[in-house]
Structure 1
Amino acid sequence: MFALSFMRHAFVAGTLIAILCGVIGVFVVARQMSFMTHTLSEIGFAGGSFAVFAGWSTLHGMMLFTILSSVLVGRLSVKESRREAVISAVSALFIGLGILFLSLSSQSASSATGILFGSVVGISAAEVNQLVILSVLILGILVILYRALKFTSFDRVGAQVSSINETAISIIFLLVLAVSVSVTAQIVGSLLIFILLTLPAASAKYFTTGVAKMIGLAILFALLGTWVGLYLSYITNWPVSFFIATIEVVIYLLALLNRQLTTK
């Protein structure tokens, strides 16, 4: 299997993305931003479609759209009472744009399939290098902001006492999340991005309470789903996103079962 260059690229990319999702996913779940992650995935679909239409790299198109839209959503949804409506409206707009760009594009339907469901086995060495740079950059930012993110996500009182600028941290986190969504789409596609960004972290919180331990466990679950998913995809020729989704759902169900058994 590893004698094939595309599988080596897939495992390197998958490993980096799993680590990234495990780290950022814990804060996504703690901040109750799973719905926002789902919306950014739909916006990523529009960005990827625009990239196909314009002849750009899919990753660049997704990054452009998710970053701009995250700023837009952040400005429009300051009030929590209207946040859900704003996110729904933005999501609907970008889904429509994605369909429009694909219809105007001269590319085949396979381009749309790659955007929606991912094409990790088709990642080139240049794209792997891009993923490495972006993943290291994002993880570096998260390390720098770790203390502030931990306070604002898990201990709001502690954040206020420490005089942490919650607004600035929220904006930076939203931008980091936008880039992470674009990067993750290389594995599972825009429709299933929220799986790796939410389910491993959601499963981890049922096994432990410490933030660092949750991050470690979330990374482990994300790596398990990605590695096993890639292997099963290789031997069956079925879509890797199907296996990753199934494995992460099974892990989550086991976590729920474990929680019920331990709380009785």
Structure 2
Amino acid sequence: MQRAFLAGILLALITPCIGMTIVLKRMSMIGDALSHSSLAGVAAGLIFGINPVLSAAVVCVAAALGIERIRKKLPRYSEMAIAIVMSGGIGLAGVLSGFVKNSANFSSFLFGSIVAISREELVLVTVISLIVLITVLLLYKELFYIGFDENAARISGVPVQRINFVFTVLTALTISIASRTVGALIISSMLVVPAACGMQMGRSYKKALLWAVIVAVSTTIAGLILSYYAGWKPGGTIVLLEVVWFVIIVFRKALIKK
């Protein structure tokens, strides 16, 4: 359970950092596209005897770069790039899953199994989390600029293409490690919902990001405790608590306006 708490808190720290920029860029569905693509990597890893988390990371990064490539070629239809990659990822995962001998292993990646995380997987989560956190801190201003307006960022001298490339890789790595712990079907919600809560509570980008992290960490801790005693799935419990928090914020703001 200690590993579960550590892995959960690490993911709760990095998912809002990635999710805030995703929401600002109006690419909320990219989490679904990459998480579904990661399942193809999981299936491939199980088939060929490779660590499924590593194979998921490789496929996830490739899918993310594919989305960026299509967005660059068709800038007016950026949402179409996400739909294309997600469709391809789902199709490939569906085909490859038929060749997986132990279907239980594959199914565990759908909703995650954070309480069963191994020491090696915890090390991988820790390393990637540190990489994501350090990179986000170093590129804080650049991510802020491209999140609001890429054209203005480009005029201001921000290397938009390079920053987008780095951010895309960070997003893919975050989703690939989270698919093992909280589940491929749930990680998209953990990227978007805390960011949405933060944007409702904070009046500036910095405060919104801080609130998003607070929401993510608190709901992760509460979700793990509740799921342990109630016998629920940890990933689903965490996401439900995040959604409840968002609903409370919205209702509270509506009551204040009245």
Q: Contact conserved, 2:38 with 2:176, CA < 8 A, in 1?
A: yes
1:1-264 mapped onto 2 (5 Å cutoff): 7-78=1-72, 79-107=74-102, 109-154=103-148, 156=150, 159-264=153-258
After TM superposition, the structure 1 stretch with the greater mean CA deviation from structure 2, 11-20 or 67-76, is 67-76
Q: Is the 8 A contact 2:33 2:86 kept in 1?
A: yes
Worse-superposed segment, 197-206 or 29-38: 29-38
Runs of 5+ in structure 1 lacking a partner? 1-6
Contact 2:11 2:178 in 1 (8 A): yes
Q: How many Å apart are 1:112 and its aligned residue?
A: 2.3
Quick one: which amino acid aligns to residue 113 of structure 1? S
- Greater CA deviation, 186-195 or 158-167? 158-167
Cα displacement (A) at 1:186 = 2.7
- The secondary structure found in structure 2 opposite 1:104 is coil
Question: How many angstroms does 1:70 deviate by?
Answer: 1.0
User: For each residue in 1:90-134, what CA deviation from the matched residue of structure 2 results, as whole angstroms up to 9, or x when unmatched?
Assistant: 211211111222211111x32122111101011011211111111
Once the 2 structures are TM-superposed, how far is the Cα of residue 157 of structure 1 from its aligned partner?
6.7
TM-score (norm 1): 0.92
Distance in 2 between residues matched to 1:209 and 1:57, nearest whole Å = 43
Output the CA distance in 1 between the equivalents of 2:230 and 2:37: 31
Q: If the length of structure 2 is used for normalisation, what is the TM-score?
A: 0.94
Q: Distance in 1 between the 2:110 and 2:65 partners?
A: 23
Q: Percent identity?
A: 27
Paired residues in the alignment total 257
Q: Does the 8 Å CA contact 2:100/2:106 hold for their aligned counterparts?
A: no
Q: Cα distance, 1:165 vs. partner?
A: 1.6
2:29 aligned counterpart, secondary structure: helix
In structure 2, distance between residues paired with 1:98 and 1:156: 33
Please give the root-mean-square deviation of Cα atoms over the aligned residues, in Å.
Answer: 1.6
Q: Which letter maps to 1:240?
A: P
Q: Secondary structure at the match of 1:34?
A: coil
